Amino acid sequence: MTLDRFYPIFGSVEWLERTLPLGVKLVQLRIKDMPEDELRPAIARAQALCLTHGATLVINDYWRIAIDERCDWVHLGQEDLDDADVQAIRRAGLKLGISTHDRTELDRALALSPDYVALGPVYPTILKKMKWEQQGLERVVEWKRLIGGIPLVAIGGMSVERAAGAFEAGADIVSAVTDITLNDNPEARVRQWLEATR
């Protein structure tokens, strides 16, 4: 199964309700700070929405719930890897995406045979404070050379205008967050993304 080249990341199921009908086919649900009794129904709802719209859902971090809810994908950051049971994730048949920022993290990720590798932030990002300011397109080129056939996700400061450069540098997939969620017209922005990546 080939993953779509456009990969928005949203912090609530409401965003999926708004964007899946537009044609989004790959989406990550990254919920922060929600009590578990609300989290489970939210993930189940996201899964149902994605099934309805023929989209692939990736759950950030909550791998136990992802297994329980029979999700197909989980995404883990480097900190998440510290306490995740990757063997349990694999036994449950889930595919795995992993965030990387430097060579040490890439080596760690590749040792787990991920189904995609994310590199970020390619450009400066306002989303979260990181010790990595900006990786740049040269790093995208380098990562693609190192990971070969594994899909490479470019994330961090990505916009419709920057997508082409990321693809040229070797990214297979471009991920966006604030370029959509902070846009005055998120639906129109999603349509521009779909046009730019298909």
Do 174 and 158 touch, CB atoms closer than 8 A? yes
Is 128 tagged catalytic?
A: yes
Query: Which residue of the set 30, 95, 139, 144 is catalytic?
Result: 30
Using DSSP's 3-state secondary structure scheme, residue 31 falls into coil
Query: Which residue of the set 18, 32, 64, 128 is catalytic?
Result: 128
Q: Which residues make Cβ contacts (< 8 Å) with residue 21, sequence separation at least 6?
A: 53
Q: Which residues make Cβ contacts (< 8 Å) with residue 12, sequence separation at least 6?
A: 31, 42
Is 25 tagged catalytic?
A: no
Q: DSSP letter at 125?
A: -
Q: Which residues make Cβ contacts (< 8 Å) with residue 156, sequence separation at least 6?
A: 120, 121, 122, 123, 124, 125, 127, 134, 135
Burial 32-59 (b: 16+ CB within 10 A, else e): eeeeeeeebebbbbbbebbeebebbbbb
Query: Which residue of the set 5, 99, 144, 189 is catalytic?
Result: 99
Handedness of CA 89, 61, 198, 173 (dihedral sign): negative
Is 198 tagged catalytic?
A: no
Annotated catalytic sites, by residue? 30, 99, 128
